[in-house]
């Protein structure tokens, strides 16, 4: 059990480091994911290029705009990786004891990834709903209702309101306006996206096992293993990432903009925006996810030895009492 805790702590620490290093890329990719093809005159220029979006964020919100919602993201990533690694290593240890092998088979890796991923989604989805709304500063229902009621709400006012809300104020506002269940919006596509870490960790474990037969692995090896495994996973699952991001926003009353299910979201995106709509922002997402994963695996291996030492010292001090 102590080894599972050490993996959980090192995973949480690695998640914090990787998130802080790559968060501006997350902000850009998230805003691109939720953009729709139907642009207003003001947004039209932003949608023409990724560079224009970065320039607009810096112009309207400053450097801090690239770190919108970073507190909830760091917290969420620490919890996500902590929970994932705890369950993954726990299940991995069970398979190893049962089979007597040092590494898991492909099927065992997939089972461990599926169970661990599902545990993460159910426990952390509220954090990511809050983070998505902070990051994108988008509230489609407020905008729609303002038009219906004839209210005068400028984009600058909306951005200022969103920017001023921290994690807990945003969470309480979501519960107040949309109900508690709104915190689990996008859970279904998130559960489907459990296939992402399944692919990632299966590729990682299989490559790691092969590389270990040839040499002792160092930090650079874990960096490359994390990058390669995440590149494969993100490329395959990106359309679901786009649907999940949009479903985590406050849903519009306009049926054409509301996604009632994953398949409904996929169909509407293709019909309204074409196939390219399913891959909006993929350039930044690939760069961000690959770097995040690479830094995560590299940092986790470094933190693991420290986590084992801390747990050992804590156990000794407890036993003496």
Q: Looking up tokens 């830094």, which residue turns up?
A: 295
The single-letter DSSP state of residue 103 is S
Q: What is the structure's pLDDT at 1?
A: 62
Q: What is the structure's pLDDT at 200?
A: 85
Longest CA pairwise span in the chain (Å): 70
Question: What string of pLDDT tens digits covers the 321 residues of the chain?
Answer: 678 889 899 999 999 999 999 999 889 888 888 887 654 444 444 444 677 888 888 998 899 889 988 989 999 989 999 999 999 999 999 998 898 887 788 888 889 989 999 999 999 999 999 998 888 864 444 444 443 344 444 445 444 454 457 889 999 999 999 999 999 998 988 898 888 878 888 889 889 989 998 988 888 898 899 889 988 898 889 999 999 999 988 877 888 888 888 899 999 999 999 998 999 888 888 888 888 888 888 888 889 988 988 888 888 887 776
Rounded Cα distance between 304 and 302, Å, is: 6
How many Cα atoms sit within 13 Å of 105 on the Cβ side?
6
Q: What is the structure's pLDDT at 37?
A: 64
Rounded Cα distance between 231 and 158, Å, is: 35
pTM beyond cutoff 0.85: no
Among 285, 259, 28, which Cα is nearest to 135's? 28
Angle, helices 219-247 vs 195-212, to 10°: value is 170
Query: Cβ(102)–Cβ(96) under 8 Å?
Result: yes
Tens-digit pLDDT profile for residues 215-260: 888 888 988 998 899 888 988 899 999 999 999 888 778 888 888 8
257, burial (CB in 10 Å: exposed 0-12, middle 13-18, buried 19+): middle
Q: What is the structure's pLDDT at 46?
A: 40
Q: CATH number of 2-138+178-320: 3.40.140.10, 1.10.443.10, 3.30.420.130, 1.50.40.10?
A: 1.50.40.10
Structure tokens at 157: 């006012």
């Amino acid at each position: 059990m102590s080894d599972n805790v050490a993996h959980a702590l090192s995973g949480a620490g690695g998640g914090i480091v990787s998130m802080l290093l790559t968060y501006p890329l997350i902000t850009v990719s998230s805003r691109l994911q939720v953009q729709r093809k139907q642009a207003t005159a003001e947004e039209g220029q932003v949608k023409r290029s990724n560079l224009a979006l970065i320039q607009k964020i810096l112009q309207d919100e400053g450097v801090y705009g690239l770190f919108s919602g970073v507190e909830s993201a760091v917290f969420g990533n620490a919890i996500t990786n902590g929970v994932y690694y705890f369950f993954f290593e726990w299940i991995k240890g069970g398979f190893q004891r049962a089979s007597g092998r040092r590494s898991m088979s492909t099927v065992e890796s997939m089972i461990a990834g599926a169970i661990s991923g599902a545990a993460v989604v159910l426990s952390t989805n509220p954090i990511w709903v809050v983070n998505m709304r902070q990051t994108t500063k988008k509230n489609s229902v407020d905008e729609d209702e303002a038009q219906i009621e004839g209210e005068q709400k400028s984009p600058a006012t909306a951005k200022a309101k969103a920017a001023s809300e921290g994690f807990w104020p945003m969470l309480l506002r979501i519960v107040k306006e949309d109900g508690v269940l709104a915190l689990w919006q996008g859970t279904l596509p998130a559960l489907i996206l459990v296939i992402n870490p399944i692919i990632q960790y299966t590729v990682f474990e299989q490559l790691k096992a092969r590389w270990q037969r040839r040499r002792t692995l160092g930090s650079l090896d874990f960096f490359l293993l994390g990058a390669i495994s995440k590149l494969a996973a993100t490329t395959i699952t990106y359309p679901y990432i786009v649907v999940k991001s949009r479903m985590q926003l406050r849903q519009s009353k306009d049926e054409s903009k509301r996604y009632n299910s994953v398949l409904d979201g996929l169909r509407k995106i293709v019909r309204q925006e074409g196939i390219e709509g399913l891959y909006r922002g993929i350039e930044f997402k690939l760069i961000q996810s690959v770097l995040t994963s690479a830094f995560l695996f590299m940092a986790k291996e470094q933190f693991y030895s420290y986590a084992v030492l801390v747990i050992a010292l804590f156990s000794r001090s407890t036993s003496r009492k």
